[in-house]
Structure 1
Amino acid sequence: MTNANKQRSWLRPLLAGLLGLVVLLTALVAWLNVRGEAPVEPGPANVPASASVIERGAYLARAGNCIGCHTTTGGAAFAGGRGVDTPFGVVVAPNITSDVKTGIGSWSASEFWRAMHHGRSKDGRLLYPAFPYPSFTYVTREDSDALYAFLKSTPAVERPNQPHRLGFPYNTQAALAVWRALYFRAGAFEPQAEQPAEWNRGRYLVQGLGHCAACHSGRNFLGGTSLNAQFAGGLMPDATWYAPSLATPREAGVQTWQRDEVVKLLKDGVVSHASVSGPMAEVVFTSTQYLSGADLDAMARYLASIPLRDNEPREVKRAEGDVFARGGKLYDQHCASCHGDKGQGVAGIYPALAGNRAVTLSSHNNLVQVIRQGGFMPTTAGNPEPFGMPPFGQVLNNDEIAAVSTFIRQSWGNSAAPVSSLDVLHVK
């Protein structure tokens, strides 16, 4: 037997085995993507709904902050077009008005439910998880139908959906199928019998329509979230802001707060010792300020019950003396007139920086963003004329932003890692 024949004799079984493995893995991925799904009958798209169901759907749309992603600045409500930056490219939110051609006017309630529960479009294509169906899968069919009824009642806006701007292979259905096989399984909300109804309602809102875990959880390089990372905090998909951990009082956990303080923060965007800014300010402005007191109280109950993790004090490297001194001078020049020479702030006007966990987060992103872009709380019924902080991005360079950030994070009893100019440069 020649050498060539010998090579072919073992190469053919190897290739056949590899081909069989590929077929087996492909079949497994396909099965994982359809498990639990029943065929969806198209059904009628124009079943009239009662006024009460539509009103409930409008409330649920607020709870899910649908307008936040599906509306561009100055654009028609729910007409889509807003781009969501991700590490893999830009996902563009679709038109979900009642328009038949470009919206969901031709969808049935069952097709809408499949999108919410299984992450599939009307034509069966897999949806990108920028639409947070890993959370929406826990929404009940009744609530999905009410939300559908509301969206079908909105004015029809003819606006063609724009294509996503994703590179290969992230723009393929195959890549989505693999991601879903790894990280998604359709679920159903199961109340915990040992917990009171209010707590279960809060859990339903936080884990379902509120999709809080979509931002406040760590993600790996594929954009997946493990159970261990839920509510543990992480960078937003566009890596600009940091969504702080809800599992530690050192960041955004409210386990030690009075429940009425949590309700007020979600309702008004500000309490005596904390305020919201950045993406969370938008959530309060467009969503949580409109929720009922009972639902906000329920959410506060559940948030306070999230198990604590990683709450031990950390050893912090002190900044070099010249950097700290330079930051102090910059603070006196640009910040002290509002926030006080000891970081004490002015009650009800300018937030205190001393003891402010927003400036001592494990990530420096948010502090850098506020210094660069300014800090603005949402306008709410309970805080109709919020004071804002002007942006200093045109006044301070990266070295100066790093120095003043470091000074704030390590003064008046604050303890957090120093910020370098390279750290600032890496913040988008």
Structure 2
Amino acid sequence: MIQTMIIIARESKNNFLFLGYMLALLVVADTTMVNASPEKTAMSEQRRAQGEYLARVGNCLGCHTAKGGRPFAGGHRLITSFGTFITPNITPDKETGLGSWREEDFWKAMHEGKSRDGKLLYPAFPYTEYTKVTRTDANLIFAYLQSIPAVSQSNPPHEIRFPYNSRPLLYLWRALFFKQGVYEPDPSKSDEWNRGAYLVQGLGHCNACHIARNVLGAIQEDTVGGGQIMGSNWYAPSLTSRREAGSMHWTIEEIIELLSSGVSQRAMTSGPMGTVVRQSLQYLSQDDLRAMAVYLKSLLESNAQPEVNYPEMPENVRKYLAQGEKLYKKYCEECHGITGQGASGIYPALAGNRSVTMTIPTNVIRSVLNGGYPPTTAANPRPYGMPPFQQIIRDEEVAQVVSFIRNAWGNRGSLVSAIDVGQSRGSSH
């Protein structure tokens, strides 16, 4: 800029006066900017910090970052029964990201499930839950995303199978299954409870995983009653059943411990939930963690069933489980104990473990195949884990050992077959 002024000054009749005048204007402008910047900078940094925190709560990074890719640049492949969805670039790059978007555009995506050009978004993006996010929070998240480094990265289009690739069908789907609206507090509940409900139902979008869906991918009932996780062969257990992941009989402190660290005396997170704890939940404030715990603890218990007296096992079943017991002694007993008691804070107990005895055995099979690793968190920086066995033992042997631990030490669960294991092994992407 100064070089330009010097060139202009040379062409002026009064070079020194002109140059002095322009430099004086420059000094005044700089002084005004310096004097105005501290307050604006502080406000901008505060909004950025608030937006970053909310983006953590919503775990935007988790979906919009490919494995080994640049943060928020998209490219993550979400494999579903309808096809493969490719997450978009949400960095502020003008050509390939959100650089040309406005607050209003971002709000429509979050609240209405519509892109900047008005196209309907597929509900693989959880706008069905994000619609409950307030306009203020959406604006803060957008402000944060606009402040991160821009990444020029074009991602491939979705690979959706027919007839689901027909966008007009989205209009019908939305008319049947999408309820738009910001979260409305329950006046009969406390502010803390409502904050927890807002985080669980909206920004945290727990319903996106912990709920059953129909053949069209729509939520079957408005409760976190457990369901298959879209994009992976993991089962998200019910948060309302004491036989799965219900916490109504836990203390608030126990729930907070599990959410923030990934481990507690009662349970351990792994798989997709472990990732959520590592990328998102461990960064929440104690107030928000407590609010979520208060809400989760208040959920009414579902599937409350009396204890079942199982009949005597047939001889062929006992022989099948005996094979599993031999495998357990060889591969598992050293860590998990003779009676499945585990080691407190190190190796989880298998006796009385709800993740072992759930009706759907998917998670315990995946743990044996892929290993069981709780997340690395600030509260648990060096977690103990179990190595994967998918290259060590055959599907039939995995089925036998899983069947054994589901029916030993007082546990009761259905038998697992090699076909069940093969289905899980085939989805180990």
Q: Please indicate, yes or no, whether the TM-score normalized by the shorter chain is above 0.5.
A: yes
1:244 corresponds, among 216, 225, 237, to: 237
Residue matched to 2:203 = 209
Give, in angstroms, the shift of residue 267 of structure 1: 0.5
Q: 2:275 aligns with which of 282, 285, 307?
A: 282
For the 8 Å contact 2:212–2:221, the answer to whether it is kept is: no
Q: Cα offset for 1:226?
A: 2.4
Structure 2 residue 174 is matched with structure 1 residue 177: no
Q: Who is 1:326 aligned against?
A: 323
Task: Give the residue type in structure 2 aligned to 1:105.
Answer: G
Quick one: distance in 2 between partners of 1:232 and 1:370? 22
- SS state of the match for residue 201, structure 1? helix
Task: Tell whether 2:291 aligns with 1:294.
Answer: no
Report how far residue 53 of structure 1 moved: 1.1
Q: What percentage of residue pairs aligned between the two structures are identical?
A: 50
Instruction: Using the TM superposition, give the Cα deviation of residue 227 of structure 1 relative to its aligned residue in structure 2, in angstroms.
Output: 2.5
Which residue of the partner structure matches residue 337 of structure 1? 334
Equivalent residue number for residue 421 of structure 1: 418
Structure-1 residue corresponding to 2:35: none
Q: CA deviation at 1:314?
A: 6.3
* Distance in 1 between residues matched to 2:226 and 2:157, nearest whole Å: 30
Aligned mates of 2:418, 2:371 — CA distance in 1: 19
- Residue 84 of structure 2 corresponds to residue 96 of structure 1: no
SS in 1 for 2:381: coil
Counterparts in 2 of 1:334 and 1:366: CA distance versus 1, 3 Å: same
Deviation, 1:239, is 5.0
- The aligned counterpart of 1:363 is 360
Query: For 2:203, what is the secondary structure of its paired residue?
Result: coil
Q: Deviations over 1:31-60 (max 9, x none)?
A: xxxxxxxxxxxxxxxx99722111100000
Max Rg structure = 2
- Residue in 2 aligned with 1:78? 72
Indicate whether 1:409 and 2:406 are aligned.
yes
C-alpha deviation, 1:273, in angstroms? 2.1
Equivalent residue runs for 1:13-412 within 5 Å = 50-227=44-221, 230-313=223-306, 315=308, 318=313, 320-412=317-409
Q: Whole-Å Cα distance in 2 between the matches of residues 345 and 406 of structure 1? A: 18
Cα offset, 1:426, TM superposition: 2.5
Give the corresponding residue for 2:12: none
Aligned counterparts of 1:141 and 1:218: Cα–Cα separation in 2:
28
Report Cα offsets for 1:311-362 as digits up to 9, x if no partner: 2146467570111100100000000000001001111111111111111111
| Matched position secondary structure for 2:188 | coil
Query: Deviation string for 1:262-308 (max 9, x for gaps)?
Result: 00101000001210000000000000000000000000000011111
**Which AA in structure 1 matches 2:155?**
N
Secondary structure of 1:274's counterpart equals coil
Letter in 2 for 1:327: G
Q: Which residue of 1 aligns with 2:9?
A: none
Which runs of 5 or more residues in structure 2 are unaligned? 1-39
One-letter amino acid of the counterpart of residue 54, structure 2 = L
Q: How many residues align?
A: 381
Aligned to 1:25: none
> What is the distance in 2 between the residues matched to 1:172 and 1:314?
48
Query: Could you give the per-residue CA deviations for residues 223-265 of structure 1, whole angstroms, max 9, x where no partner exists?
Result: 111235x211011113500000001111011000000010010
User: Which 5+ residue runs of structure 1 have no aligned equivalent?
Assistant: 1-46
> Any idea what SS the aligned residue of 1:271 has?
coil
Q: In structure 2, what is the Cα distance between the partners aligned to 1:159 and 1:299? A: 36
* Distance of 1:74 and 1:179 partners within structure 2: 34
Over aligned residues, Cα RMSD in angstroms?
Answer: 1.5
**CA distance in structure 2 between the aligned counterparts of 1:351 and 1:227, rounded to whole angstroms:** 32
Q: Deviations over 1:63-94 (max 9, x none)?
A: 00000000012211100000111111111100
What's the secondary structure of 1:311's corresponding residue?
Answer: coil
SS in 1 for 2:78: strand
CA distance in 2, matches of 1:348, 1:217: 29
